[in-house]
Amino acid sequence: MNRSRWLKLALLWAATAGLLFALYASGTTAQHRYEDADGWGLSQDRYIGEDLSKELKDGARYRYVGIRRQFEGDPGPRIFAAAAILPIAVLITIRLLRSKPAPTPSSTPPPPEG
């Protein structure tokens, strides 16, 4: 198998992996996590600040912990898209592996017919 086929296969599967990752990432949302002294926390869809003591009426002091990615939404369309992308990539791979390589140009002319 020549190098151009390997390159095509590598590009095909890199693009397939990129599409699948983009599908997965489209279902995640970032939640900013805050915790109190006992470890109880709450999630916010936006960053409010390091300290939430002014935001709360109870006087409980929450501190910023970090971002937590949460998978949300309906996974049906993403699963359907992945189920369509993978077989197409497999079929293209099979086609690339089965196709005959192009003949290499030779310096000798073909024999005369007749």
Q: Over the chain, what HEC string results?
A: CCHHHHHHHHHHHHHHHHHHHHHHHCCEEEEEEEECCCCCEEEECCCCCCECCCCCCCCCCCEEEEEEEEECCCCHHHHHHHHHHHHHHHHHHHHHHHCCCCCCCCCCCCCCCC
Tokens of 27: 């279902």
Domain count, the chain: 2
Would 11 be classed as within a structural domain?
A: yes
Q: Does residue 66 sit in the same domain as residue 79? A: no
Residue that has been written with the tokens 């900013």 in this structure: 32
Residue 105 pLDDT class (50, 70, 90 cuts):
low
**How many whole angstroms separate alpha carbon 33 and alpha carbon 47?**
9
Provide the pLDDT for residue 18.
95
Provide the pLDDT for residue 12.
95
Range of the domain at 7: 1-27+73-100
Provide the pLDDT for residue 107.
65
Q: Does residue 33 sit in the same domain as residue 67? A: yes
Would 114 be classed as within a structural domain?
A: no
Would 112 be classed as within a structural domain?
A: no
Q: Does residue 57 sit in the same domain as residue 42? A: yes
Name the region of 66 (left: φ>0; alpha: ψ -120 to 50; beta: rest). Answer: left
> pLDDT tens across 1-49, in order?
588 889 999 999 999 999 999 888 787 777 888 787 777 777 777 777 7
Nearest 5°: the CA angle 61, 47, 74 is 115
> pLDDT tens across 43-94, in order?
777 777 776 656 655 656 777 788 887 777 678 888 888 999 999 999 999 9
Provide the pLDDT for residue 106.
64
